[in-house]
Structures are given as structure tokens and as C-alpha cells.
Amino acid sequence: MFSIAGYFIPKNTVIIPNLFGAHHDPEVWPDPYSFKPERFLNEGGGSGGGSTRDLIPFGGGARLCLGESVAKMELFLFSAYLLRDFQFLLPESETSLPDLRGVASVVLKIKSYEVVARPRPVTNP
């Protein structure tokens, strides 16, 4: 028998972690529903700030995603190229940022919103 928070879990029981709950816990993430990328920066402005150990987008334990290192590398490259080549702006008709709260379904999905991707001017080094 195994116990979690006083509850006994029988052998061979399938346990599905609540990643949404873990990533929106106000004791771990102050103001969890706000977009604050600076949470993940250290004091010098580099990556690896205090909240990165609590970020578990690829699962955990024995069921950790085997492709995590490749996925992180690919996401970094993809995001870096997009941010290098484009400015992402609100449409002129919008005055505030979109509501980023999800819609409950089989998986949590984001509400539709519009964004303008404007190419950055090409500069020669």
C-alpha cells in the first residue's frame, strides 16, 4: 500500500496528476492567471529563475516524457526564430490583452483571439 496525503492507494492503481492544478497553485505561483514571463528569470535576467523547479509541463516521476530535452530545444529554437523575425501586436481594434483562461474540454484549450504578426525590418550586421 502507498499513501498520498493520508489516502491509501492500492497497488496497480492508475494515478493521473493534475498538471493544471499544479501550475495554478497560488501558494507556488503568485497571481497564477497572469502572464508573467519574468517569473522564470533569475536576478541577472537570465533563465533559470526560482519558479522553474515547479514547472512540470512534461509530467513527472516514472511517466516523465522521454522527449523532454528534444522538445525544449525545438521549442526554444522555434520561439527564438519567431521573436527574431516578427513583432507580435494586438489588432488595432483591441485595447487590452486577450483573456488567457482556458475552456474546459477533454483537454484545456485556449479561447480564440487575434494577433498581428508584423515582420521585423531586415538589418545587415
Is residue 118 scored above 80 in pLDDT? Answer: yes
- In the chain, where the domains are located: 1-65
For the segment 17-34, the average pLDDT, to the nearest whole number, is: 84
| Digit-coded pLDDT (tens) for 57-93 | 887 777 778 898 899 899 999 999 999 999 999 898 8
As a whole number of angstroms, the distance between CA 79 and CA 54 comes to: 22
pTM tops 0.75, yes or no: no
Cα–Cα distance between 63 and 6 in angstroms, integer?
A: 23
22 vs 54: CA distance, rounded Å: 8
> Which pLDDT score, from 0 to 100, does residue 45 have?
67
